[in-house]
Structure 1
Amino acid sequence: MYVAVKGGEAAISNAHRLLADRRRGDRSLPAIRIEQIVAQLGLAVDRVMAEASLYDRALAALAVRQARGDMIEAIFILRAYRTTLPRFGYSRPVETGAMLVERRVSATYKDLPGGQLLGPTFDYTHRLLDPSLLTDQEVEAPLEREEAGEPVMRVSDILAGEGLVEDDGSLPEGHVPGDLTREPLEFPMARDLRLQALSRGDEGFLLALGYSTQRGYARTHPFVGEVRIGEVEVELDMPELGFAVSLGRIQVTECQMIAQFKGSAKNPPQFTRGYGLVFGQSERKAMAMSLVDRALRAEEFGEDIVAPAQDEEFVISHSDNVQATGFVEHLKLPHYVDFQAELDLVRRMRRDYEAAQDKDLPEAAE
């Protein structure tokens, strides 16, 4: 028994050494630095921050490096680190209407107050490999980074002025926002908890569900009211001071998806909304989140629940990639006893089957 334990420890130690060696790679090449990952792999860093629920670019870059670029492993590492941090309190809700916008596009209005701001995006690039990136040679002079501009009104405010879109809504008096990181999941969920789960859910899973709603697996015909990327101020109430203190600014991506609603006995025909908000620049995730959020509001609008994206328990229970990773990858761990039990069962069933076949043979011959 002790030999097996020691042997296992040695194998695991060697596996760790081999992993560290493969992570470092070719020693003739310089090691990649955290600053390089933050500056040049920013979208990967932003995804790790968003799905780990921890806004810290340096730590997210460290997780990406430690995980050798495996995004889900990096999310797992950073989320585990997050659990060790003390909780000082809850910030005030960020005011995205006061966002200093770097990028802002709308598919519903061509000309809108504040204009369309393309910002840094792949939307207009050709999906062709760029050989110039094979070298470190600068092909163009670097652009001077501009500061984010002034706050601009939301596109949804235009529709709201005509009463054609649902209100932002408000929480019941005395409602305390939930915290998924400290409370177990219970269904049905309040929308604030549901949005928390979607915000840290796996981008690929939400993208597939959002895509399914567009292919007819939910009764929605969405329009991107607005996608905006920019900086918002985070404030924390200080009871001893009697006012809120600014903790700084963070970059977020917000999406408001607009969908048609035919109305009901209680509500007139109007547009409804799906909402997405995530850390960093991650508009594909914010858009997918907003599509799924709108689909999950089916019961609220008296719509039939006929598609996976409308099933709250299905969506929320399977959207977390850290939990999904744990369930899938635990299958690699030893299951010797379980398998031997099933092996014995199959052998007994096989013997019973063969005995029954042998019993039936004389009757068949007659």
Structure 2
Amino acid sequence: MYVAAKGGERAIEAAHDWLADARRGPTDRPAIDTDAIADQLSLGVARVMAEGSLYDPQLAALAIKQARGDLIEAVFLIRAYRTTLPRFGATEPVDTAAMQAARRVSATFKDVPGGQLLGPTFDYTHRLLDFRLLADGALPPAPGQPADADPQPVPHVLGYLDRDGMIEPAADTGTEPADLTRAPLELPANRALRLQALARGDEGFLLGLAYSTQRGYARNHAFVGELRIGTVEIEMFVPEIGEVVGIGEVEMTECETINQFKGSRTEPAQFTRGYGLSFGQTERKALAMALVDRALRWDELGEDFVGAPAQDEEFVLSHCDNIQATGFLEHIKLPHYVDFQAELELVRRLRAGVPDTEEDAA
């Protein structure tokens, strides 16, 4: 016999108390500090800011602490908090060409103006546990560029291809893009809206889609024209003084890919672009974003739809948001007693009219 479990506010309050105890951990150890999270777990903080659509390392660190390290839960907290904030206006478009790059690499050209800046990267590390990190104290500084070096703006690599007409020009529709944080997604979406959705999308989901394009689902072979990470100035037009003023700096990751060329009888062959831009040091996200962006442009570029998941706009944009996905997934953990009892009774009635054995049927 199935019976409905009983509970209520007392059980929920007890669960909250237990959660707080589990989050704190053993009280004989120091509590983890949000400053330490922001400084030492900066990649996790960057992901929460990117997918939460709010640039604030301290709040992202707080969300990670509150969520016990569950980054999707932390993104949920940040998005919920974001809805309570007043909106003062929109900033000017970010000039990534003026980025103070701490990392800037190109997989297509060895010698680029400004040079290759490896920066802080796992690309060349051995994937072996470093047991020195278990010891107290910091590791000795590694030789190389001093931490206080002043990075200089470097030109975009794809600008040199653009100058020679070897790559499609960067599109400028001249219209103000819609704001996905203030209005629901509508399909079909233009490229600006798609890029917003991808920037907020789950990194793991985008990674899987991007990988699928490399394995042949969308015939989308790409070269990384440039990947850069650094700080950019945020500017805003102030009507009271009639001028554009700088209001701060944010760290961003930008990726531009060079993809297979297109052409026609009237137009010479030229490469096409994929683009990704995200808060913080989120290079895996920006790279995956660029690959998926290019795959979604099949119709715009006059290509065939081959049925690849990364080409399907509705599939990609409707499922890349991890908060929406989490809500649908995790709600099935909550009580569904009445629904299940109705299904159970229906199955019992159906079974009542069906013989249990062949002898009963005879």
Q: Please report the TM-score for the alignment, with normalisation by the length of structure 2.
A: 0.94
Shift in CA distance, 281/343, structure 1 to aligned 2, threshold 3 Å: same
The equivalent of 2:124 in structure 1 is 124
The answer to whether the Cα contact below 8 Å between 1:220 and 1:259 also exists between their aligned partners in 2 is yes
From 166, 169, 175, the equivalent of 2:168 is 166
Structure 1 residue 349: Cα displacement: 1.8
Specify the code of the residue in structure 1 equivalent to 2:250.
I
Structure 1 residue 354: Cα displacement: 2.3
Specify the code of the residue in structure 2 equivalent to 1:327.
F
The equivalent of 1:288 in structure 2 is 288
The equivalent of 1:24 in structure 2 is 24
1:337 aligns to 2:359 (yes or no): no
The equivalent of 1:364 in structure 2 is none
Q: 1:1-366, aligned counterparts within 5 Å? A: 7-141=7-141, 144-172=146-174, 175-265=175-265, 267-305=267-305, 306-354=307-355, 360-361=361-362
Shift in CA distance, 307/148, structure 1 to aligned 2, threshold 3 Å: farther
Q: In terms of mean alpha carbon deviation, does 218-227 or 176-185 score higher?
A: 176-185
Structure 1 residue 66: Cα displacement: 0.2
Specify the code of the residue in structure 2 equivalent to 1:188.
P
CA distance in 2, matches of 1:20, 1:262: 57
Specify the code of the residue in structure 2 equivalent to 1:55.
Y
Specify the code of the residue in structure 1 equivalent to 2:15.
A
The answer to whether the Cα contact below 8 Å between 2:167 and 2:272 also exists between their aligned partners in 1 is yes
**Corresponding residue SS for 1:50:** helix
Structure 1 residue 261: Cα displacement: 2.2
Specify the code of the residue in structure 2 equivalent to 1:163.
G
Cα deviation, 1:65-94, whole Å, max 9, x if unaligned, reads: 000000100010111000100000010110
Identity %: 62
Specify the code of the residue in structure 2 equivalent to 1:336.
Y
Structure 1 residue 141: Cα displacement: 4.1
**Corresponding residue SS for 2:22:** helix
Specify the code of the residue in structure 1 equivalent to 2:158.
S
Q: In terms of mean alpha carbon deviation, does 150-159 or 288-297 score higher?
A: 150-159
The answer to whether the Cα contact below 8 Å between 2:262 and 2:272 also exists between their aligned partners in 1 is no
Cα deviation, 1:82-123, whole Å, max 9, x if unaligned, reads: 010000001011000111111000000001111100001011
Specify the code of the residue in structure 2 equivalent to 1:285.
K
Specify the code of the residue in structure 2 equivalent to 1:23.
R
The answer to whether the Cα contact below 8 Å between 2:48 and 2:75 also exists between their aligned partners in 1 is yes
The answer to whether the Cα contact below 8 Å between 1:177 and 1:193 also exists between their aligned partners in 2 is yes
Shift in CA distance, 343/140, structure 1 to aligned 2, threshold 3 Å: same
CA distance in 1, matches of 2:275, 2:171: 12
Which sections of structure 1, spanning at least 5 residues, go unmatched?
362-366
CA distance in 2, matches of 1:304, 1:359: 58
Query: Which structure has more helix as a fraction of its residues?
Result: 1
**Corresponding residue SS for 1:51:** helix
Specify the code of the residue in structure 2 equivalent to 1:113.
P
CA distance in 1, matches of 2:298, 2:64: 37
Cα deviation, 1:115-150, whole Å, max 9, x if unaligned, reads: 100001011110000010001233314885224422
The answer to whether the Cα contact below 8 Å between 2:355 and 2:361 also exists between their aligned partners in 1 is no
Structure 1 residue 358: Cα displacement: 6.6
Q: State the aligned residue count.
A: 356
Shift in CA distance, 111/142, structure 1 to aligned 2, threshold 3 Å: closer
The answer to whether the Cα contact below 8 Å between 1:98 and 1:151 also exists between their aligned partners in 2 is yes
**Corresponding residue SS for 1:294:** helix
Specify the code of the residue in structure 2 equivalent to 1:24.
R
CA distance in 1, matches of 2:190, 2:141: 50
CA distance in 2, matches of 1:341, 1:27: 47
Q: Please report the TM-score for the alignment, with normalisation by the length of structure 1.
A: 0.93
Q: Which of structure 1's runs of 4+ aligned residues deviate more than 6 A? A: 355-359
Structure 1 residue 42: Cα displacement: 0.6
